[in-house]
């Protein structure tokens, strides 16, 4: 199957060899089976790390504060001073600054280091290359400087790096999945308590197919933050009648519906989507337990509909692919994945149909949008680790 994963060139392999890393870390992206935009509402999600990642090669460089981080994919180096980092640089460099600054805020000391990174994670595809970048660097520095940060501290500081230095007010799902996942398992995570279960994930003869729209509409960061605010606005209003609720996770649909007329329709829709999506994640967890993939797939379609019509974070390309999948019985479920406005659909598809379907979807998508679709499978993998 064709994919858009970049292989290391012989020159890059040589560059990595000559670098003589002291620490090497593999930091994966993630998929999310169901539970979208629920994490920052203290709700439920079902992600796992996947077999696509960023690899970090790190070593100390004997200076007190000088750092050099090179992206082999971008052929670009970010050079900075730990004591006065550039907070306004290109977007990818702000993730780096974010991580070193958040580590310092936790009272850990760093000294000069050099880092090479190579990614085979498609960027902007909604499979969280950002969390892989933040968490992988944090894991590498933790090992290189013996910082004694726990996995959860790495998750939390990486999320804060994104809030404070990139400006996306993301939830915790992506970082949690990138760090805590286990091969052949999915995580069922309660984003309020951070209690989680690693659930064995064997869906044969089905598989997870990701179809990358190769579009990334510029709304993604701004609208993401708007959605978060809209949910908070909904909670604030609901607290008039239900003072005990802290987040939409505490609200029942009947409670919301009882006050429908007091809500702006948009805010009502946002809240009802989140409440329904939390219920879908719980239903999906039961379906998975019973190996009822048909029900699981229907819940995925339900999730997409909510994201399309109530939460309004989908786009024509994602809707087209989701509708297209409905024509085939060998596909049990499909939905947009991640923040939205582009990126991938995740398809629960019979393995025997994967090649044929990929060709059909590519042809139809090209005809409709004149854009090439890329496809790849995702296997649940271990979270980030030193290799
Ligand atoms: C992005 C965010 F980073 C996550 O925290 C999550 O909210 C997701 O969008 C939507 O479910 O990936």
Quick one: pLDDT at residue 1?
Answer: 45
Quick one: pLDDT at residue 289?
Answer: 96
User: What distance in Å separates the CA atoms of residue 320 and residue 303, rounded to the nearest whole number?
Assistant: 15
Ligand 1 contacts CB of residue 338 (under 6 A):
yes
Instruction: Give 3-state DSSP helix, strand, coil % of the chain, rounded to 5.
Output: 45, 25, 35
> Which domains does the chain possess?
10-200 (3.30.230.10), 206-378 (3.30.70.890)
- What is the C-alpha R_g of the chain? 21
Query: What parts of the chain have a pLDDT lower than 70?
Result: 1-5, 219-220
User: What distance in Å separates the CA atoms of residue 331 and residue 152, rounded to the nearest whole number?
Assistant: 36
Ligand 1 centroid from CA 311, angstroms? 13
**Alpha helix segments (H runs only) across 45-108:** 91-105
Catalytic residue among 39, 174, 269, 382: 174
Ligand 1 contacts CB of residue 124 (under 6 A):
no
Residue of 35, 37, 176, 274 best suited for mutating to test ligand 1, as the one with most atoms within 8 Å of CB: 37
User: What distance in Å separates the CA atoms of residue 13 and residue 10, rounded to the nearest whole number?
Assistant: 5
Ligand 1 atom, smallest distance to 39 CA = 7
User: What distance in Å separates the CA atoms of residue 201 and residue 177, rounded to the nearest whole number?
Assistant: 15
Quick one: pLDDT at residue 5?
Answer: 62
Ligand 1 centroid from CA 86, angstroms? 26
Alpha carbon nearest to ligand 1 atom 3, residue: 170
Burial label for 370, CB within 10 Å (0-12, 13-18, 19+), is exposed
Ligand 1 contacts CB of residue 223 (under 6 A):
no
Ligand 1 contacts CB of residue 39 (under 6 A):
yes
Q: Give tens-digit pLDDT for 126-175.
A: 899 999 999 999 999 999 999 999 999 999 999 999 999 999 999 999 99
User: What distance in Å separates the CA atoms of residue 113 and residue 115, rounded to the nearest whole number?
Assistant: 7
Quick one: pLDDT at residue 2?
Answer: 39
Ligand 1 centroid from CA 171, angstroms? 6
> How many Cβ atoms from other residues are within 10 Å of residue 316's Cβ?
12
Alpha carbon nearest to ligand 1 atom 5, residue: 171
- Which value does ipTM take for this structure? 0.99
Quick one: pLDDT at residue 282?
Answer: 98
Is residue 174 annotated as part of the catalytic site, yes or no? yes
Going by C-alpha positions, the residue among 51, 46, 83 that lies closest to residue 66 is 83
Ligand 1 centroid from CA 126, angstroms? 9
Alpha carbon nearest to ligand 1 atom 7, residue: 37
**Alpha helix segments (H runs only) across 165-264:** 173-180, 220-238, 253-257
Q: What is residue 192's DSSP assignment?
A: T
Quick one: pLDDT at residue 3?
Answer: 44
Q: Give tens-digit pLDDT for 188-205.
A: 999 999 999 999 999 999
Alpha carbon nearest to ligand 1 atom 9, residue: 339
């Amino acid at each position: 199957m064709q994919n858009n994963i970049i292989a290391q060139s012989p020159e890059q392999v040589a560059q990595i060899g000559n670098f003589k890393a002291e620490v090497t870390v593999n930091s994966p992206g993630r998929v999310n089976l169901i539970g979208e935009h629920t994490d920052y509402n203290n709700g439920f999600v079902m992600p796992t790390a996947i077999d696509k990642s960023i690899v970090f090669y790190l070593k100390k460089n004997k200076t007190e504060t000088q750092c050099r981080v090179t992206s082999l994919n971008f052929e670009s180096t970010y050079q900075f001073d730990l004591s006065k980092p550039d907070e306004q640089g290109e977007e990818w460099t702000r993730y780096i600054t974010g991580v070193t600054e958040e580590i310092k805020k936790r009272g850990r000391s760093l000294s000069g280091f050099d880092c090479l990174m190579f990614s085979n994670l498609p960027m902007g595809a909604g499979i969280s290359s950002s969390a892989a970048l933040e968490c992988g660097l944090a894991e590498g520095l933790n090992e290189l400087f013996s910082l004694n940060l726990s996995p959860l501290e790495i998750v939390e500081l990486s999320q804060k790096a994104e809030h404070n230095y990139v400006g996306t007010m993301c939830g915790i799902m992506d970082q949690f999945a990138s760090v805590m996942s286990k091969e052949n398992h999915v995580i069922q995570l309660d984003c309020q308590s951070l209690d989680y279960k690693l659930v064995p994930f064997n869906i044969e003869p089905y598989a997870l197919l990701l179809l990358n729209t190769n579009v990334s509409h510029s709304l993604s960061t701004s609208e993401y933050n708007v959605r978060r605010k809209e949910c908070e606005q909904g909670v604030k209003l609901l607290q008039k009648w239900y003072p005990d609720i802290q987040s939409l996770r505490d609200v029942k649909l009947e409670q919301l519906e009882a006050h429908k007329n007091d809500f702006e329709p948009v805010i009502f829709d946002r809240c009802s989507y989140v409440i329904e999506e939390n219920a879908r994640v719980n239903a999906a967890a039961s379906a998975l337990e019973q190996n009822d993939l048909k029900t699981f797939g229907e819940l995925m379609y339900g999730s997409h509909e909510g994201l399309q019509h109530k939460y309004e974070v989908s786009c024509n390309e994602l809707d087209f692919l989701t509708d297209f999948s409905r024509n085939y019985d060998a596909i049990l479920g499909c939905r947009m994945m991640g923040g939205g406005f582009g990126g991938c659909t995740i398809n629960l598809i019979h393995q025997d149909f994967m090649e044929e379907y990929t060709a059909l979807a590519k042809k139809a998508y090209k005809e409709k949008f004149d854009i090439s679709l890329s496809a790849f499978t995702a296997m649940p993998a271990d979270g980030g680790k030193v290799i």
